[in-house]
Structure 1
Amino acid sequence: MTFRVTLRMELKPGCEQAFVEEWNRGTEAVTGHHANLGQWLCKDTGADDVYWIVSDWLDEPRFRAFESSPTHREHRARLHPYRSGGSFHTMEITAHIPGRAASADA
């Protein structure tokens, strides 16, 4: 069962470009972990200063091990200066039904 983590990042005014650049520089800290299935950076369409970071993991225990690692703490510290607020959410994906576009020939 996939474990999903979402982080809502509210950014300080004028920091959007620097935040995106720093996030891109640090992706290996997350995607390089043996339990990570992928990571996405999403810009909120309703607020210029809000981004969502979504990552999928093999399971919660392995995510929690990553979360307490020095690699994660360093990565988080590099993003923290851009953040003015936000929230953190975790969930287990219990079902996935691919849409028509996912199965169409490209």
Structure 2
Amino acid sequence: MIGHVRVLVHYTAPEQDQESVLEAYRRVNDGMRGTPGLLSSQLLRSALDTGEFAVLSEWTDLPRFRAWEEGTRHKQQTAALRSYRDEGRGRGYGIYEVVDQL
């Protein structure tokens, strides 16, 4: 939907323990249920490098996402994934507003 916001955060898993990212995502996702403005969250694994992951979340709008991001619960809710964050891509995340779609 136009006006929705999609957030993409990049993660890298240790070669010997890629399941740890999945487990951490599930813990984070369970804690995020019911967050105002959050429409969906998906864990994506790269088809080119199975150690690369991304979380794609969709929000109703930028103000709702920002309210959560700047709120006190944000860091607590995402703590399980933080150690896997891929900072080698600049910020390691992107925030995108939907401006057009089919």
Q: How does 1:8-87 map to 2 (within 5 A)?
A: 8-83=10-85, 85=87, 86=89, 87=92
Task: Work out the percentage of aligned pairs sharing the same amino acid.
Answer: 23
TM-score normalised by L of structure 2: 0.82
Unmatched 5+ stretches in structure 2 = none
Cα distance in 1, alignment partners of residues 45 and 4 from structure 2: 23
Q: State the superposition RMSD in angstroms.
A: 1.7
Cα distance in 1, alignment partners of residues 33 and 94 from structure 2: 19
Cα distance in 2, alignment partners of residues 53 and 41 from structure 1: 5
Aligned counterpart, 1:96 = 101
Aligned counterpart, 1:100 = none
Deviations 1:47-99 (A, max 9, x none): 111001001111111101111223220122211233453510011111222xx
| Superposition misfits of 4+ residues, deviation over 3 angstroms | 82-86
Residue type of the alignment partner of 1:42: L
Deviations 1:28-56 (A, max 9, x none): 33342111111111101011110010011
| Structure possessing the higher radius of gyration over alpha carbons | 1
Unmatched 5+ stretches in structure 1 = 98-106
1:57–1:95 distance in 2 versus 1, CA, 3 Å: same
Q: Which is richer in strand?
A: 1
TM-score normalised by L of structure 1: 0.79
1:82–1:8 distance in 2 versus 1, CA, 3 Å: closer
Q: 1:52 aligns to what SS in structure 2?
A: strand
Structure 1 residue 3 displacement after superposition? 0.8
Q: How many residue pairs get matched?
A: 97
